[in-house]
Structure 1
Amino acid sequence: MKNSVAVRIADFLSHFPPFSLLDQDQLELIAGEVKVMYFEQGKMIFAKDEKVHDYFYIVQKGAVDLQKMGENEDPETIDKCDEGDVFGLRPLFAKENYQLNAIADEESVVYAIPLEIFKPYAISNPNVGNFLMESFASNARNPYSEEYRGKLIADEEDISLNKKEALFELQPIPIIKKMVTVAPNTCIQKAATLMSKKRVGSVIVVEDKKPVGIVTDVDIRELVATGRVPISGMISEVMNSPVICYSKGLTIAQAQLTMMKHNINHICITKDGTPNTKVKGIVSEHDIIVSQGNNPAVLMKAINRAGSTKKLKKIRNKINILLNGYLRSNIPLSHISNIVFELNDATIKRTIQRCIEKIDQPTPVKFAWMSLGSQGRKEQLLNTDQDNALVFEDVPEEKLEETRAYFLKLATKVTKRLNIIGYEFCPAEMMARNPKYCLSLSEWKEQFSDWVTTSGNDEILLCQIFFDFDISYGDVRLTNSLSDHIFDILKGNRNFLNRLAAQALRNPSPLGFFRQFLVEQDGEKKDLFDIKKRGIMPLTDAARLLILEHRVKNISNTSERFEKLAQLEPNNKEIYQACAYSSRALIKFRTKQGLKHKDNGRFINLEDLSKEDKIKLKRCFKTIKEIQELIKVRFEATYYL
């Protein structure tokens, strides 16, 4: 006859991870050894520096506070565990004493799970092990921690993670580290001699070890051998500039897409993926082995050949299928984002090209199409609103409105076709077809100067959007000039940063006082959770503010910004890495929800979520609270009201 108490315990455990990942017979075996413990309010379960127990715990009823000691040795609650939450995992991972206090916040019943019984399942079941590792890393404050990722610390046993073999096109591409570099004033003949001697097909032109240009054997053949440039000239006369740069870890697929998009056959590898840091290596088309079967490069070729908006729409649907497959294969979000960004960007570029062809007259002056918002940050995985703007070259006053009329006509055609492809119109009309966002370079500079000087709430919001832009088509010199101007007027403007900080705090941590999710209170989205407003935007705003404070250009992606901040501020490395992890996790979660419900994934019905999903979200929200506390202290800001 079965033990009725053990059956009830097993039934309870079966509803919560990691126990829900076990078989019924395994659950019943564990339940038979569980110790049921009752704690009155204020009772200590374990204390900081206390020797670890032979159990870890799960709350059956009530609530448990996890506390750390503040600077004044006063306890500070950093998390609250309620029904189904596990805590006290340190004995599974480390033999040091407890680092936190665990105190019953109210009358509570807690199940103590024996390590001796449970540990074999954690080691043999990768899903159980992964969940416990992430939970422990989160309680250690940093869910991105490498120290505990990949194994349970034990004397003789490690967890063998059952990771799926990476798709070939998502494997890192081979990087040539022994590249040839020359100064801009190097004689072309000397550079060509070096290339021949070293048997390489290119040289990188550098200043202070930073790449400013690249010259290939094709350039020398077409420009020098034809007599267009004398062989005695300087290498800077034939170099391609600016250089397309990436950091190490570039995948085969991403390299293929980038080369096709920019019509190049070499990519420069630098320390942080921008031209602002030292050259680390080079990737050439020759180094790429094209994978067999389905490949995003096929989609890129189809986009570049597409002769109608209808075809581009069909290709965009295929991108969603590719995206879904990558998510199911647990491909790292950074790789997924890079690939989908390049495909989205190519779609925008092809749409603009076709619209220019359809207008009878050529473009009157050079221009640049700027993608804003999530596409500008390389975070747009789903079909969301299109946010864009256009900057064109300065023209004489008498030609200004005529020139603007041309680009408004072009922008109207482009935005209409992007809408057909699947990118909804921006409800706020923040699109290049709006005369407010179709300006000459001088007008844009004047506009930004006004926004920064005025620093009202509306101006701050507009500035935030335009700090996250990426050029999708046109002359990069225009956007570079605009970017330089923005950083010039921000230099020393602490008041503007303080106002930006207040805006970054306008959406506080999305958990209520009792750890419940804060949902919409009225309207058609009543009782739904807004993951964009309450989860993704606070991290996006924080990363933007802090990277602007350091005056770092050319990095717009939120997780990449936090990773750069971790390098710039080693003392805050842990929290910045946690923010980078949380940003990727929330975007991935929203994307999965959007694909599941065939929408933009922004509003979520919490009743549809599993306990495991809710735990993962709460883990990310703890990070939001911590980064906002850092901003409050650094900028002496308060939550925006």
Structure 2
Amino acid sequence: MDHRSRPLQEFLEQHEPFASLDPAAVATIAAAARVEQFGAGELIIDAFVDPNSRLFVVMEGEVGVWNDRDRLLQVPDERLAEGDVFGFSSMLTERSVGPRAVASGPTTVAVIPGSAVTPAFTSTVGARFLAEHMSAAIQRGAQRPTYTLVDDLIGTEPLVVDPTESAYEVARRLTERQLTDRHLPCAVIELGDGRYGIVGDAQLRRHLIVDGRPGSTPVGQLVVTPAPTVRLGDSATEALILLLEQDAEFLVVVDTHRRLRGVVAPRDFAVSPTTAGVSLHEQLRRAADTEELLDRARRVVATLDDLLAGGLTADRVIAVYSTLLDTLVRRAITLVLAAHPDLTVDAFTWLSLGSNGRREAVPSSDVDTAVAFADGVSPAEVAAYRVAFGEVHDVLARAGLSGDHHGATASRPAFSRTNAEWRAAGREWMSAPEKNQGAVMASLLVDGRPIFGDPGLSAVARVFSELRRHHGTMRLLLQESLSHRARMHSVLDVLVRRDGTFDIKAGAILPVVNLARWAALSVGSAVLPTVERLRVASGSAMLPARRAQNLVEAFEVLQRLRLRYQLRELSQGRPTSDVLVLESLSPIDRSMLTQAVREVAAAQRRMDNIAQYVPIDAWTSPEES
């Protein structure tokens, strides 16, 4: 290495995205770079005019940067100082997307060829850096993000290879593809059943050069687990969250039939302007203490507003919100347990219940939780854990998330048991569901979703896996599911009552949720989201396909109205509520609300009639054509 590049290497190692790289990789980058001097007012780059293929790092001085072509005659959008980087958006996308950069005074800049620095952005560390940089730009007043689908991130067709093909041959084909087009450095292997494996160029080099495995090794032997998968139509935000959570280099994109449609990597997300939510996800996950966690949690709702205003559909905004809540809860658990060194995080599984368990939480939703302990945890340890779990909920309450008013929290004995205790309680509920609120507990716990700990540890979900075989319990659960329908019978009276309000959760959303939960149990399905439950259970005598589709549409309308109304309340400085003031809704929204509630009421009446006049064995039989 040229001795002159050593000071640059030392400089880069002190700043991201280089600081997290291997020193040898930083040395390679430094050796390929050159250091340039610019005087005050001198143009460094104008990537609105010509595509840029270089990365710039400010070493000394200050640089004015314009990120918006329409603001070039105004003051710079941002001013960069020592350690800041610019030019990577154009470099990674190979398009004239800006920025324009001008030295504010005598300035020293490191100029790095894209071919040398791209690896810094194709790692998960680089993806996080991009997400945080874009989020910061948005907070400084840059253009509001626009929603992007994962479909938009696919650049080229992936290289697909047979699992019996030799590692050497795959490495050769990868090299050829890299020379001829902008191909991702990986090959895809079909594993069957809609699953795919990924073998990256770096992985091949490690196996063949470092580990010394023969080039004749079948490439299929190098795949340990299937690659994480997203579908066409998924949001770019959720895809990047998955990539970061899995600490993966690539995501496989499939269609609804699980056929391969492409591969995306961290660098592809540089073209996606939806990374504000991802950045917040990362900030929550890396909060150093509870105060920092609380500060970052207060930004969650603003992110939802941005995503909704940017074009993300309401159901996807709600799904992103649930993902952010998961991250917030996980970090709260980790920080609280760190203050209890006598307690280990490996002895329990934490479950989200209710709306967040179904990934349907909105700002007004309670945080319902439960815990399953390993059977070896002693009663004294369980008691100590419950105290700590109470502290977790205190942190969540300070973050603006209320606990369940009925006591469905992991700090309470009824919702924190060993696996053996959960199994015993489940058998008791199913044999005598009218006792000990068995139907209510079953309805709560069926929505449980593990978010912390070993998902395989929890016996809660398995307790109810055979619930459909207990006819008495299923009949009682159906009665419980229909118990909220009285309000629906007089829907028109409710909608025009004197105070002009309507509780959209109690009067419309919960009835759909309850029906969908029961319907999924009746066909033995373990899916959680309400829409998926309705679809998987459709086509039966109890829930004909057309009725199920009407309920799906009604639920989506109700959730969209609920989210928009609550975000508007928050923007006006008011607490969120499920009680809608009808005169504040547009005539179209009032009409859609009325129609949705009527549809739910009709479905309830039909299910009630079926339950009375049709034998229980025929409830799930195929509907008559």
TM beyond 0.5: yes
Picking from 489, 492, 507, the partner of 1:515 is 492
| Partner SS, residue 303 of structure 2 | helix
1:220 to partner: Cα distance: 6.5
- Residue segments in structure 1 that go unaligned for 5+ positions in a row: 1-164
Could you tell me whether the CA contact under 8 Å between 1:390 and 1:439 is conserved in 2?
A: yes
Partner of 1:254 in structure 2?
238
More displaced 10-residue stretch of structure 1: 591-600 or 464-473? 591-600
Matched, 1:501 2:473: no
Name 1:378's counterpart in structure 2: 359
Correspondence for 1:72: none
- Please state if 1:600 is matched with 2:576: yes
Partner of 1:551 in structure 2?
Answer: 524
Residue from 564, 570, 573 that aligns with 2:545: 573
Asked whether 1:319 is paired with 2:286, we answer no
Q: What is the CA–CA distance in structure 1 between the aligned matches of 2:214 and 2:384, rounded to whole Å?
A: 40
Against the structure 1 CA distance between its residues 637 and 289, is the aligned structure 2 distance closer, same or farther, given a 3 Å change threshold? Answer: farther
Over the residues paired in the alignment, what is the CA RMSD in angstroms? 3.9
Residue aligning to 2:394: 416
Indicate whether 1:434 and 2:447 are aligned. Answer: no
Q: Could you say which residue in structure 2 is the equivalent of 1:239?
A: 224
* Residues 206/634 of structure 1: CA separation in 2 closer, same or farther (3 Å cut): farther
Question: Given the alignment, which residue of 367, 383, 397 partners 2:348?
Answer: 367
Match of 2:249 among 256, 260, 265: 265
- Map Cα deviations across residues 467-502 of structure 1 (whole Å, 9 max, x no partner): 1122222212224x5434421x32533332222221
- Whether the aligned pair in 2 keeps the contact of 1:593 and 1:604 (CA below 8 Å) is yes
Aligned length: 454
Q: How far apart, CA to CA, are the structure 2 residues paired with 1:233 and 1:180?
A: 14
**Are the counterparts in 2 of residues 504 and 542 from structure 1 also a CA contact under 8 Å?**
yes
Compute the displacement of 1:371 (Å): 0.8
Q: Provide the residue aligned with 2:449 in structure 1.
A: 470
Structure 2 stretches lacking a partner, 5+ long: 1-143, 178-184, 615-625
- Aligned residue for 2:349, secondary structure, equals strand
Alignment of 1:618-637 (within 5 A): 618-636=594-612
Query: Secondary structure of the residue that 1:334 maps to in structure 2?
Result: helix
For 1:391-402, what aligned pairs fall within 5 Å after superposition? 391-395=372-376, 399-402=377-380
Question: In 1, Cα distance between the equivalents of 2:443 and 2:315?
Answer: 23
Distance of 2:589 and 2:353 partners within structure 1 = 30
Q: Deviations over 1:95-121 (max 9, x none)?
A: xxxxxxxxxxxxxxxxxxxxxxxxxxx
Deviations 1:448-483 (A, max 9, x none): 22222222272111111111122222212224x543
**Other structure's SS at 1:471 match:** strand
- Please list, as runs of the form range in 1=range in 2, the aligned pairs for 1:101-140 lying within 5 A after superposition: none
Q: Are the aligned partners of 1:529 and 1:604 in contact in 2 as well (CA < 8 Å)?
A: yes
Secondary structure of 1:386's match? coil
**1:622: how far off?**
1.9
TM norm structure 1:
0.62
Question: How far apart in 1 are the matches of 2:381 and 2:480?
Answer: 36
Answer whether contact 1:171 1:252 (CA < 8 A) is retained.
Answer: yes
2:277 alignment partner in structure 1: 296
The alpha carbon displacement at 1:527 in A equals: 7.3
Per-residue deviation at 1:357? 2.3
1:451 aligns with 2:429: yes
| Counterpart contact for 1:409–1:433, Cα < 8 Å | yes
**Per-residue Cα deviation, 1:104-152 (whole angstroms, up to 9, x for no partner):** xxxxxxxxxxxxxxxxxxxxxxxxxxxxxxxxxxxxxxxxxxxxxxxxx
Give the Cα–Cα distance (whole angstroms) in 2 for the partners of residues 496 and 217 of structure 1: 55
For the residues of structure 2 that align with 1:349 and 1:356, how far apart are their CA atoms? Answer: 11
Number of the residue aligned with 1:425: 403
Output the amino acid matched with 1:336: V
- Contact 2:150–2:235 (CA<8 Å) still a contact in 1? yes
Distance 1:506 1:307 in 2: 46
